[in-house]
Chains A and B, each alone.
Chain A
Amino acid sequence: MSATDQPLLSVRDLKKHFPIKGGILGRTQAMVQAVDGVSFDVRAGETLGIVGESGCGKSTTAKLLIGLVDRDEGDIELGGKSLGRDISLRALRRDIQMVFQDSYASLNPRMTILDSIAFGARVQGLDDPVGRARRLMARVGLDPDRFAGRYPHELSGGQRQRINIARALVMSPKVVVLDEAVSALDKSVEAQVLNLLSDLRAEFGLTYIFISHDLNVVRYISDRILVMYLGEVVELAPVDMIWAEQAHPYTRSLFSAMPSMDPDNRTQKPPLTGDPPNPIDPPPGCRFHTRCAFAADVCKARHPVLGPMVQGSPHWVACHLHDPASGHPRAGQGVPA
């Protein structure tokens, strides 16, 4: 990566293992490997979509980024400054904000909307928190004169999510993590909020990390897509490239699970069977080999490393199929059609 292409947010080897306590003494019985060695870069103004099935560590990754969950290992760098070494968590939180999935639970029911939005600005000691909050309310499409004194239960889901977005923007952050931010909305409202998010990104020069399970939504808003499986990154590629070719067998199954728009073209057989393995005791080697149609002996033995498919390609994948030197019988041939 050249100097001109300095990433805004850089995550290296992020790890979070949750202990499972049990027994009379409450000793740690096992560790859930929720996030296990996740690395990625996000450039300024870019939107990185993170996809994966439930329990793959998407939300934990999001919470690790803003320190709601303490990381066990790994580095988070924002604008070249490392969290904990160069900048404090409090300072980081001014630059990274988050929008949660549940629009109702993420607003204090006893607080007026204006106060909810202004809270962050007050805490960070920014000037004119109320003015900031009112301007942002207007910007997300809620008239401050009508809505400022209302309580969350008086608003609809879409209105509340607009408020949550305004709340996230009140400190003028650089990065906004959207954790399933539009998933709970119905389709028409979802489209409106997505358009609002695109407009805001352009207007405020924001960088998004957009977490979702809805591939169409991710495709619409993202520049690049990161696919997670069992706490690891399995594929990372620009949106057009991944749409054209899903390099990892898991990504392929994930994409083929997307319902087709054409009713004559419905998938009849499930693209992937069974549940993901238990993250307490993930399979050795490639974590996907238990469900992979192309698993060979090397997949059970060796852990594939995330790397470019071809030298210099922005399409990264962690699969032995794409590494000619891996020893996989079909290595270098790619995923069979």
Chain B
Amino acid sequence: MVQVTTDIPVVPPAQRGYWSGVLSRLRRDPVAMICAVILAALVLSAVFAPWLGLADPYQGSMIARLSAPGTPGHLLGTDEQGRDMLSRLIYGGRLTLFIGLMPVVLAFFIGGTLGIIAGYVGGITNTIIMRVVDVFFAFPSVLLAIAISGALGAGVLNSLVSLTIVFIPPVTRVAEAVTSGVRSLDYIDAARASGANALTVIRVHVIGNVLSPIFVYATSLTSVCMILAAGLSFLGIGVRPPEPEWGLMLNTLRSAIYVNPWLAALPGVMIFATSLCLNLLSDGLRSAMNVRD
């Protein structure tokens, strides 16, 4: 076969924005779409849990403890206090997804801003920001999360704070690396040469070109964050009982593993499925955001 390269300019199908192009490419990726559907189902069911006609997630029953999945009235069985598992898993999604996603969203904004400033301004500003970030990098993320949560005490808000602190450094580092790469390109010089101030250059020329790698990286962190949040609850320094939360449920049902292994595995399955879907979706997003494919 002869490799024929044509120099005919590619005519875009229509005048479309960048994000609609990303969406249409994402729509053609079956794996990403399946994951998106599963995640959407999880989020929607968690948000609308009170209107789904589920059993009360806090109402236990001493008789119906640890009943197996498939028991009449309890589709997914009951936990160690006889509370309906289906209901608790769906209600548990509210807290779990919240403390799994919120820290990443916060870290995306805070870390992204810090990284873009460090990368664009450079010099002493860069040194100060990045050396502070390096200090946090010295600790493994699990250890750091446990240490901060342990110091702040249990509770949803404290978990949120500690996980946000854990995820700011990696986001900052990625943002800084991408931004300093973009900073050295001629179109930034050209923009500066036209008399634009630093803020305008960052807003118009830098953000659009660094956002997608930072965004993709942040999405890949959500699965880690969910697992860490579940881990904190499992250790008893995250969400407190009787709140339904997947990590906490995994912890309390641990002792039931010999009585009813299916039951004990359910919260784990939820965590696993969600984090897998998030990972695959962020992979799909990464390829969909690559303009030149």
Contact = CB atoms under 8 A, between A and B. Distances in A.
A33 B21 CA distance: 48
Interface stretch (B204-212, B215-223, B234-242): B204-212
Interface string A94-127: 1001101110011111110000100110011000
Interface of B: 7, 9-12, 15, 18, 185-187, 189-196, 200, 204-205, 208-209, 291-292
A155 interface: yes
A108 B12 contact: no
Given A102-B186, A110-B208, A93 B193 contact: yes
A105 B187 contact: yes
A66 B208 contact: no
Contacts of B15: 149
Contacts of B195: 89-91, 93-94, 120, 123-124
Given A106-B187, A108-B208, A149-B15, A123 B292 contact: no
A150 B9 contact: yes
A91 B193 CA distance: 11
A124 B9 contact: no
A149 B205 contact: no
A153 B291 contact: yes
10 contacts: A67-B193, A105-B186, A105-B187, A106-B185, A108-B191, A108-B205, A123-B200, A149-B15, A154-B12, A156-B9
A119 B62 CA distance: 71
A258 interface: no
B291 A149 contact: no
A167 interface: yes
A301 interface: no
A149 B15 CA distance: 7
A61 to B, nearest CB: 14
B193 A98 contact: yes
B187 A153 contact: no
A272 to B, nearest CB: 30
Nearest to B209: A110
Contacts of B205: 108, 111
Range, interface on chain A: 35 or more
B231 to A, nearest CB: 38
A241 interface: no
A98 B12 CA distance: 30
Interface in A146-195: 149-151, 153-156, 164, 167, 171
A63 B188 CA distance: 13
Centre residue among B18, B186, B191, B193 by max chain A CB count within 10 A: B193
Contacts of A91: 195
Contacts of A63: 189
Centre residue among A66, A101, A124 by max chain B CB count within 10 A: A66
A167 B190 CA distance: 9
A111 B194 contact: no
A257 interface: no
A68 interface: yes
Contact of B209 (A66, A68, A108): A108
A154 B196 contact: no
Contacts of B193: 66-68, 93, 97-98
A109 B15 CA distance: 16
A155 B11 CA distance: 10
Contacts of A98: 189-190, 193
A116 B186 CA distance: 13
A102 B187 CA distance: 10
A92 to B, nearest CB: 8
A156 B190 CA distance: 19
Given A102-B186, A124-B194, A167-B190, 9 more contacts: A89-B195, A94-B195, A105-B185, A106-B189, A108-B187, A120-B195, A120-B196, A153-B292, A171-B194
A123 B205 CA distance: 13
Q: Which 5 pairs across A and B sit closest by C-beta, in order of nearness?
A: A120-B194, A106-B186, A93-B195, A100-B186, A123-B196
Contacts of B194: 93, 97, 119-120, 123-124, 171
A29 B116 CA distance: 29
A150 B12 contact: yes
Contacts of A119: 191, 194, 196, 204
A134 B187 CA distance: 20
A93 B185 CA distance: 19
Contacts of B208: 108, 110-111
Nearest to B192: A68
Interface string A66-92: 111000000000000000000001110
Interface string A226-248: 00000000000000000000000
Nearest to A106: B186
Contact of B10 (A97, A124, A154): A154
